[in-house]
Amino acid sequence: MAESAPAAPLWTAEEIVAATGGVLMGQAFNAHGVETDSRALEAGDLFVALSAARDGHDFVPQALAHGAAGSLVSKASPEPCIKVDDTLRALGRLGEAARRRAIGARRGAVTGSVGKTSVTQAVLAGLNLAGHGHGSVKSFNNHIGVPLTLARMPADTRRAVFEIGMNHAGEITPLSRLVRPHAVAITNVEAVHVENFPDGEAGVAEAKAEILAGIEPGGVAVLNGDNRWFESLSGAARAAGAEVRAFGQGEACAARLIDFQPGAEGARIKAEVEGRRIAFPIRQMARHWGPMSLAALLMLRALEVDLDTALAALSAFEPLAGRGAARDVALGSGVFTLIDESYNASPISVASALAALSARATSGRRIAALTDMLELGPDSADRHAALAPVIAQAGIDLIFCAGPLMKSLYDALEPGRRGAWTVEAEALIPRLAEAIEPGDTVMVKGSKASRASQIAAALIAGAATGVTA
């Protein structure tokens, strides 16, 4: 049998020099990938030495020893390398060159207060099923992740999707102009990062609308017709020359949600999309996945993926780690079910996760472990306490809380629902683990920085309790 031809390089040294304006030091090389983290580097990658919390130049020797083809540097470094004035700006130029050479590729960009990573990854699943797709890995959505994702885009890409996030005003605009999307989606605008905006949610809405800054002429803006900022965002989209396609429950929506029925292994959605009545299963239970699925469908259609391929991809799309993935964990002679929602949290996403927990069949109790929701502004304590009636309506049996802000929720709970409260997430782990019984369903959710993921990881690992994964 003849050996297959070696894969074409992603970048040659000559192409990198032309894109970045750098100078090649040492022998020419071919790179099959681009990486900024020496720990994640694979043989044949170009290592980009960024200066952040740690200076990437300190890791160039290690990267070369682990098989890096060469490095992109701004300081004297071991060869082979390409020296530039600023490695972050050079990474952006490499991304721009990747965009220009992928002739004919349609590009999408997704932002929003809640759900942008899941929608981006659902869209990517559809692009991959359609063939020659490319997109963001995990939450690579900032001033490093977006140009890095672009720089990794092969020349034969037909369609690509990029997640773009922000914490402050002005952060999305340059990234949108770098991507130059043909279609954008704003999943929603909610009270997330509001402490960074003097005018609160209105400022968040304006910042999310920055994704329109780089949209290609005649592009498509996929917007949430049920969100209270829809009129403002649709006005901004039309001013940018974009065609607005709405998703939601309204009669005028291009993708209209008719019904959402959660089941044992996910949910079934009925909708009308582009005038066609459809029904399809998904593997997520949270109700916000009704409109988010329609956002993904409209993005896929705007990127010229046929509807049947898009539906097949959505039906097979698994919940992401930290965003609703469920697993059974051994406990003594039985098991309990852990739902990991620990990646991030806001009032609306917590409410949605609690509703999904309420709808999930279980032979035991429904338990939620919640850590602080961050960046909610001066009324943060009240926003936490306001979850108490949501919990009561959902019928959650026990609530465990960690963090100074979650004390407001804990105090607002009915006494019978109080599990325990601790200042630190780590201190909550043994209290929670001791209370879990076989048959229980346990959801863990909180903002990333409030360390909810440590609780989920400890339950899986069986820390301090006798629980074994």
For the chain, 469 residues long, give each residue's pLDDT as a single digit of tens: 445 556 799 999 999 999 999 999 999 999 999 999 999 999 999 999 999 878 999 999 999 999 999 999 999 999 999 999 999 999 999 999 999 999 999 999 999 988 899 999 999 999 999 999 999 887 789 999 999 999 999 999 999 999 999 989 999 999 999 999 999 999 999 877 777 777 888 999 999 999 999 999 999 999 999 999 999 999 999 999 999 999 999 999 999 999 999 887 889 999 999 889 999 999 988 888 999 999 999 999 999 999 999 999 999 998 887 788 888 998 877 899 999 998 888 888 899 899 889 988 899 999 999 999 988 888 899 999 999 999 999 999 999 999 999 999 999 999 999 999 999 999 999 999 999 999 999 999 998 889 999 999 999 887 334 433 3
CATH topology of domain 325-468: Protein-Tyrosine Phosphatase; Chain A (3.90.190)
Return the CATH number of the domain spanning residue range 102-316. Answer: 3.40.1190.10
Sign of CA dihedral 32, 37, 112, 321: positive
Strands ordered across the beta sheet of 220-224: 133-135, 159-163, 106-111, 183-186, 220-224, 243-248, 255-262, 267-273, 276-282
91-94 long-range contacts, Cβ below 8 Å, gap at least 24? 91/34, 91/36, 91/48, 91/50, 91/144, 91/147, 91/148, 91/151, 92/147, 92/178, 93/19, 93/20, 93/21, 94/11, 94/16, 94/19, 94/20, 94/34, 94/147, 94/150, 94/151
Instruction: List the chain domain ranges.
Output: 11-85, 102-316, 325-468
Smallest CA-to-CA distance from 165 within 188, 149, 146, 191 is with 146
Q: In this structure, which CATH number among 1.10.3720.10, 2.60.40.10, 3.40.1390.10, 3.30.70.260 belongs to the domain 11-85?
A: 3.40.1390.10
Integer Cα distance of 141 and 343 in angstroms: 15
> pTM of the prediction?
0.86
